[in-house]
Amino acid sequence: MEDSDLTRIVIGCAMHVHTYLGCGFQEFIYQSALEIEMAKTSLKFLREYELPIFYYEHNIGSRRVDFLIEDRIPIELKAVEVLEAVHLAQAKNYLEAFKMRVGLLINFGGKSLQVKRLINSKAPPKDENQKNENKF
C-alpha cells in the first residue's frame, strides 16, 4: 500500500475519534481510542514504539512514537488547543532521526482535528520491493 493510502486511513480513523470524543481529553485517551479505531482496519501498527536515536553511529537514546504504521510511518499525537512550531519541529526531527520519509502529526485538542502530513526529503527513496531497512 502506498504511503498516501496509509495516511488516509489513519486520518479517517482520527476523524472518527475526534467526532466521537471531541476535544478536552488527555493525549492517552485519544491514543487508546485511535488504537481501537485502527484495529478495525487492515493496518499493521505498533503503539508506543521505541526507536533509537543515533548521533552519527552512536546510539544516544531513544524516543517512543505514539504509533508506527506498517514499519515506516510514525504518528505523533497531541492534545493541545493549538499546535505550535515546537510540535512540528519535534515531529520533523523524528522523521529525520529515524530516516523515514512520511509521518503524521495529529492534534485532537482543538475544536477541529488538526493533521499535518510531514515529508522528509532527506530520507532515502522508498523501494516498493523492500521493507524499510531502518536499524531498529
Predicted pLDDT of residue 127 = 57
In the chain, the domains with their CATH numbers are 3-119 (3.90.320.10)
| 87 Cβ contact list (under 8 Å, min separation 6) | 76, 78, 80, 105, 107
Mean pLDDT per 10-residue segment, the chain (136 residues): 95 98 97 98 95 89 93 96 92 87 96 95 64 40
Query: What is the value of pTM for the model shown?
Result: 0.87
